Amino acid sequence: MTTVTPQVSQSADPRKRTGSIVWHVFAIAVLCVVLYPVVWVIGAAFKPGKTIVGSAQLFPTSPIMDNIKGLGDGIAGISISSFFLNSLFYAGMAVVGVVISSSLTAYAFSKIPFKGRKFFFAMMIGTLLLPYHVLLIPQYVMFQKLDLINTYVPLLAGKFLATEAFFVFLMVQFMRGLPRELDEAAKLDGCGHLRTYWSIVLPLSRPALITSAIFTFINAWNDFMGPLIYLNEPSKYTVSLGLMMFRDQQGISDYGGQIAMAMVALIPVVAFFMAFQRYLIDGMATSGLK
């Protein structure tokens, strides 16, 4: 993708070309092993339920649609689309919350020289390594007292209140890298902080915002523990919980519907990933290093 130019000179030398072929063969072989489970789920979704586990074949010789069609019946009277809409709501609102609250906080930490900034920044970094489980029970007790169990508020509160320090940190790193002259010029022109944030820093921070948005979406989509603890009415279940319901209702060894549903549930994540993987991977690398 990125290295077209050195390739030209490489292919001129036959020994280097063999090396290149060996490299590609090896890399693809490793990749086949790594991606095997992902491809397997696609094939398995079209196999008869009883043969899914026993057959070594990746794809069925005569694919059937029964598993997929069966999803139309829903689970325990709840349609599959209900789980998807719930997950979409959760993940969508999580993205909105994280992007707004984390970017505001990151602007404060990176661009406003206020008293106590270093102290609060250190506190924020400190929460990066804090196991979530320490907060789990008191948070549950608090939301229970507020009568908010079985709503999405406990799942989203943290997103709107920038408690995911990783994203604040990622945005701070990015905003610090923006040229100082820009916001100084804005200040001279009489821009206040809100104006500078909105018209200068935010548009320039797009890569960091997009990275955070995708990570948040995928994390919320995959989230299992949060919904498991806070949601108890099947009509409010997300896809993760819907999948578990499916498994419990069908019995643990009948894989037909389960695997079909698992495949369908993976589609949004895989699509999101394919569309934005460049941002994601670069964001991952920079947040880890600087």
Which of 65, 85, 137, 271 binds another protein (CB under 8 A)? It is 137
- Scanning residues 255 to 284, which ones bind another protein (CB under 8 A)? 255, 258-259, 262-263, 265-266, 269-270, 273-274, 277-278, 280-281, 284
* 182 near another protein (CB under 8 A): no
Cβ count near 37 (within 10 Å): 8
Q: Strand, coil or helix: what is 289?
A: helix
DSSP string, 187-242: HHTT--HHHIIIIIIHHHTHHHHHHHHHHHHHHHHH--HHHHHH--SGGG--HHHH
Cβ count near 131 (within 10 Å): 7
* 188 near another protein (CB under 8 A): no
* 222 near another protein (CB under 8 A): yes
Compute the distance between CA of residue 232 and CA of residue 230 in angstroms, rounded to an integer. Answer: 7
Q: Strand, coil or helix: what is 75?
A: strand
Q: How far is CA 250 from the centre of its chain?
A: 28
Which of 197, 208, 236, 237 binds another protein (CB under 8 A)? It is 197
* 185 near another protein (CB under 8 A): no
- Scanning residues 68 to 87, which ones bind another protein (CB under 8 A)? none
- Letters for 49-68 (x = contact with another protein by CB under 8 A, - = none) are ---xxx-x------------
Stretch that binds another protein, among 61-69, 75-83, 100-108, 202-210 (CB under 8 A): 100-108
Which of 76, 85, 225, 275 binds another protein (CB under 8 A)? It is 225
- Scanning residues 138 to 157, which ones bind another protein (CB under 8 A)? 138-142, 144, 153, 156-157
Residue with tokens 């999948």: 243
